[in-house]
Amino acid sequence: MSEVQTGHEKPPVYDTKDVNESPHSDVESAEGQINPLKRNLQNRHMQMIAIGGAIGAGFFVSTGGALRTGGPGALLLCYCIVGIMLLQTMWALGELAVMYPVNGAYFDYSLRFIDPSWGFAMGWDYAINWLVILPFELTAAGITIRFWRDDLNVGIWIAVFLVVLSAIQIFGVRGYGEVEFVLSIIKITAVIGFIILGIVIDCGGAPVGGYIGGHYWFDPGAFTDFVGFCSVFTTAAFAFGGTEMSGLAAAETANPAKSIPKACKQVFWRITLFYVVGTLIVGLIVPHNADYLMKASGANTSYSPFVVSIQNAGISGLPSVMNAVITISVISVANSATFGSTRTIQAMAEKGMAPKFFGYVDKHGRPIWCVVLQIAFGFLAFINEASDTGGQIFTWLLALSGISNFFVWGSVCLAHIRFRAAWKHNGRSIDELAYVAPWGVYGSYLGLGLNILCLIAEFYVSVQPLDVQNFFENYLAAPLVIALYVGWKIYQSITKNPEVEKRGWKLWRSVEEIDVFTGIRDTALDVGIEPRVKYETWGAWAKALPKRLLRSIV
């Protein structure tokens, strides 16, 4: 059967008023008007944010700790599992973000398609995640300088990087986009260069050492134990964290219907080339029982497998280059942290779920008070240097973000599932969508299932052995999410919110309650969208499958 080109079929003209005015909205906007964030992110910004925006210390340094804990086989397998999970999440997020390019995407979709209280929990969980990651990344950036100057206090560099980060915020979202564009190019180039160099080292082409091949997969082995295998999931989630940022940027993208699908497709190459191939190369040239891997955590780049493997190969100069790349990567993630928290808190303030003044956005499109809050959290980086107990305080702060990514990613998949059900309930077809997730709702079920599996695996690790402090250091985000969810339910009941009294404590909205029309995308922005392809039979679909798979990643 032949393929039928559907072309640029515009969906019906729906009510495009702000989603806050939805008849099913549980709260009112803080300002009562469409948010004034500027659409200053171009397609090139979105591509770089998707490909390399969140590659940082989690990938370059923490990978070493995960290698020692689980072995090269566990490292590769866990990164593949989390990669597949995140790919499905990004496809689902892309479909939602194109249809509803709203600020505070993850929070808003949970609020709208799942449950208001769950939306509140996801919004604050995501915001807290980035609020506490910023001081960690600033500390990490300072520690990387010790590779060259260990005689200087880290606090000096924390202050320098905090000033630089604050200066970037002056230029608003355009500043964020330009910085990420440049830094991502540097990171991508460095990772590709390391992969090529790693192959040379493994094949015996380095000045020191001979042919390695797959020797380290047999001696000391590919895996350690089951607990070690499960523990790698959290490291992988931390390394992948921030990939979803392109969905958050939808409200500030010039042409979301064109740039967001392309950004989502680029995630495939990021996962495959950087994380899968990168971790495979590390596992080939670094034995998991190497002593220095015991110190490969946080941002101690002196023991990063990416740096030490080059040093052990007898190559001079390049270790410093790689350390410089790690420094740049950490600054990039700190920049993303500021963007992620400020946009989420500003969106929540508009819905009445955060203090009203956080909803203020100046004429240049900058959520000023949200930025001030994030920078204030940056000063917590000095705690780690100021006292003997600073390290323990820092550990507990980071525990708040430990597994939060799994909750956020799983909620995106669930929101997509609920959206599709409501869309169908209203008699609408997926042919009306400008972008459709390649694996459809089945991919979201897969993504949701893998997120739940990772949460179970991390719970198992947290109780092995059973120690209260160890459990909460690994799993503190879970009781935080539950407390936020239940707390907002109780608050809404106390304040006698009419909808809460009508709906009760149901786990999620029914399809009849979900409004799929308000806040829909402005079709005037749909410029240069590629025509959709429709297949008349399963045979035609199967025949075109190779082409469809290629188009989904290119």
Q: Report CA 76 to chain centroid distance, whole Å.
A: 19
Fold of 44-468+489-551: Amino acid/polyamine transporter I (1.20.1740)
Q: What share of the chain is helix, strand, coil (3-state, %, to 5)?
A: 70, 0, 30
3-state secondary structure (DSSP) of residue 4: strand
Tokens representing 102?
């709203």
Tokens representing 132?
């506490």
- Are residues 384 and 397 in contact, defined by beta-carbon separation less than 8 angstroms? no
* Surface-to-core class of residue 365, CB atoms within 10 Å of its CB (0-12 exposed, 13-18 middle, 19+ buried): middle
Tens of pLDDT, residue by residue, the chain (554 residues): 333 333 334 444 344 444 334 333 343 333 334 445 666 666 676 666 666 666 777 788 788 888 999 999 999 999 999 989 988 998 998 889 888 877 766 788 998 999 989 999 999 999 998 898 888 888 888 888 888 888 888 888 889 999 988 888 888 777 778 888 888 888 888 888 999 999 999 999 888 888 999 999 999 999 998 999 998 988 888 888 877 777 666 656 767 777 777 777 777 777 777 888 999 999 999 999 988 887 766 556 677 888 888 888 888 888 888 888 888 888 888 888 888 888 889 889 988 899 999 988 888 778 889 999 999 998 888 876 665 555 566 667 777 777 888 999 999 999 999 999 999 999 888 888 888 888 899 999 999 999 999 999 989 988 887 778 778 878 888 999 999 999 998 888 887 666 665 666 677 788 888 888 877 866 544 555 565 666 666 666 667 666 655 655 55
**350: CB partners within 8 A, 6+ apart:** 20, 29, 30, 31, 35, 103, 104, 359
Q: What's the pTM value of the predicted model, to 2 decimals?
A: 0.86
**545: CB partners within 8 A, 6+ apart:** none
Written as one string, the DSSP assignment of 144-182 is: HGGGT-TTS-HHHHHHHHHHHHHHHHTTHHHHHHHHHHH
Helix H, strand E, coil C: the string for 244-286 is CHHHHHHHHECCHHHHHHHHHHHHHHHHHHHHHHHHHHHHHHC
